[in-house]
């Protein structure tokens, strides 16, 4: 049974009653569900080619279908990530030629003859669709990788500004006045002291080592966990003082004040932030465009697959009615049962059905991969729902 989270593309032989079929099905389905979409779906009269070519296509197209579907899904995931998983914003970008997906499928869908001439060979059409989808997939991957690199770099820079005073960047915490400058013998060290040990620090810091300048401890900043002090010591006792601080659970921050370096850090952060915003906009625009393109390519491949399967199923002449049905997810089983009952008359006409019922092990063996597909009396392929 097909999924209740997809729109169904259906093909049946055209016995000259397309309009009557649509009305009859609509009436029957209305008795089972109040919410569904049903419309006729144009299936072009492609060149059928040889039986061997059709069988080869029937085996190859499912692989293409899986790749196409995955490409569309990745594009949607990219949009979802860019838009912070906001359904209302996502719906504004999941559009096909500025129409929502349901309107594209249910309101007079037509084969794009200008781009994929129906008189070309089926293999040529499938190859053309595959090249376009591969190009879209490669462009998306390249742009996404570039964006992720810049975003990762920005996140790393921003992360340095977060956390408590024992780990965060001190570039925007300290100032020039907090340091002794241009001294051959003295230096200012920055020490992050746990809030619970501030009293200990004030009592001990002058005696942690020799050559600590008395009364030089200055509170620079505090947060919920630590207080940051500046203290002046002689350079010659730097390592000894650091070790003594470590033994007393005071954390000496490895920081050298440099106006040029701090300015460069701020400039790099501003540049990364600007670049990330620009790439975000570019990626959003590309994802929106590529969703529209890739979804159309996917649907065109589905139509080729409908045609190929219909010829193998029902034979020639290759004249089929296409239907597109969006079921109500709550009534999917009832809707499917209506279709099964309505098209039960097609069972004797299906070459696949006869083969499946046992015309010999040789037939089944040759077409085993085709026999493994879900089999109904009518041809059905699914277009997964993009936004639920």
pLDDT in tens, 199-240: 999 999 999 999 999 999 999 999 999 999 999 999 999 999
Q: Residue 266 is inside which H or E element, if any?
A: helix 259-314
Tokens representing 325 are 């049905």
* pLDDT value for 266: 85
Whether 147 has a pLDDT exceeding 90, the answer reads: yes
pLDDT-based confidence at residue 365 (cuts at 50, 70, 90): very low
Whether residues 242 and 318 fall in one domain = no
Q: Per mean pLDDT, which range of 15-24, 55-64, 118-127 is the poorest?
A: 15-24
Q: 3-state DSSP call for residue 205?
A: helix
Closest to 71 in 3D by CA, of 147, 2, 160, 134: 134
Classify strands 6-13 and 379-384 as parallel, antiparallel or unpaired.
Answer: antiparallel
The tally of CA atoms less than 13 A away on the side-chain side of residue 39 is: 15
**Residue 61 belongs to domain with CATH number:** 1.20.1460.10
Q: Identify the domain containing residue 250 by its residue range.
A: 176-256
Whether 387 has a pLDDT exceeding 80, the answer reads: no
Distance CA 356, CA 364 (A): 7
The tally of CA atoms less than 13 A away on the side-chain side of residue 348 is: 1
* pLDDT value for 259: 83
pTM for the full predicted model: 0.79
* pLDDT value for 373: 53
Q: Residue 50 is inside which H or E element, if any?
A: none
**Residue 214 belongs to domain with CATH number:** 3.30.70.100
Whether residues 122 and 247 fall in one domain = no
Whether residues 144 and 214 fall in one domain = no
Distance CA 104, CA 126 (A): 21
Residue 280 resides in a domain: yes
Q: How many domains does the chain have?
A: 2
Task: Identify the DSSP state of 9.
Answer: E
Distance CA 160, CA 174 (A): 15
Domain boundary among 229, 256, 283: 256
């Amino acid at each position: 049974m097909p999924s209740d989270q997809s729109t169904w593309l259906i093909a049946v032989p055209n016995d000259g009653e397309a309009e009557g079929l649509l009305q009859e099905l609509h009436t029957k389905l209305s008795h089972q569900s109040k919410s569904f979409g049903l419309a006729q779906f144009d299936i072009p009269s492609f060149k059928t080619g040889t039986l061997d070519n059709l069988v080869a296509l029937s085996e190859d197209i499912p692989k293409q279908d899986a790749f196409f579907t995955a490409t569309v899904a990745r594009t949607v995931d990219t949009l979802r990530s860019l838009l912070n998983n906001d359904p209302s914003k996502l719906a504004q970008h999941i559009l096909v030629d500025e129409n929502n997906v349901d309107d594209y499928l249910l309101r007079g869908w037509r084969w794009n003859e200008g781009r994929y001439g129906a008189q070309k060979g089926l293999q040529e059409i499938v190859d053309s669709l595959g090249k376009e989808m591969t190009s879209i997939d490669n462009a998306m991957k390249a742009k996404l990788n570039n964006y992720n690199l810049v975003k990762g770099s920005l996140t790393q820079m921003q992360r340095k500004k977060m956390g408590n005073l024992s780990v965060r960047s001190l570039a925007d915490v300290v100032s020039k006045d907090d340091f002794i400058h241009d001294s051959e013998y003295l230096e200012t060290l920055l020490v992050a002291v746990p809030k619970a040990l501030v009293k200990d620090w004030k009592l001990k810091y002058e005696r942690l080592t020799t050559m600590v300048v008395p009364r030089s401890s200055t509170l620079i900043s505090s947060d919920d966990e630590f207080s940051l002090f500046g203290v002046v010591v002689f350079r010659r006792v730097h390592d000894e003082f650091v070790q003594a601080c470590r033994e007393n659970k005071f954390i000496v921050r490895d920081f050298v004040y440099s106006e040029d370096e701090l300015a460069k850090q701020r400039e790099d952060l501003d540049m990364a932030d600007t670049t990330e915003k620009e790439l975000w906009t570019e990626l959003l625009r590309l994802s929106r465009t590529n969703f529209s393109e890739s979804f159309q390519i996917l649907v065109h491949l589905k139509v080729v697959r409908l045609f190929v399967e219909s010829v193998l199923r029902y034979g020639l002449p290759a004249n089929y009615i296409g239907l597109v049905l969006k079921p109500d997810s709550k009534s999917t089983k009832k809707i499917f049962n209506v279709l099964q009952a309505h098209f039960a008359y097609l069972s004797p006409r299906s070459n696949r059905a006869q083969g499946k019922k046992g015309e010999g092990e040789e037939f089944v063996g040759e077409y085993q991969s085709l026999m493994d597909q879900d089999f109904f009396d009518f041809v059905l392929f699914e277009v997964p729902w993009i936004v639920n």
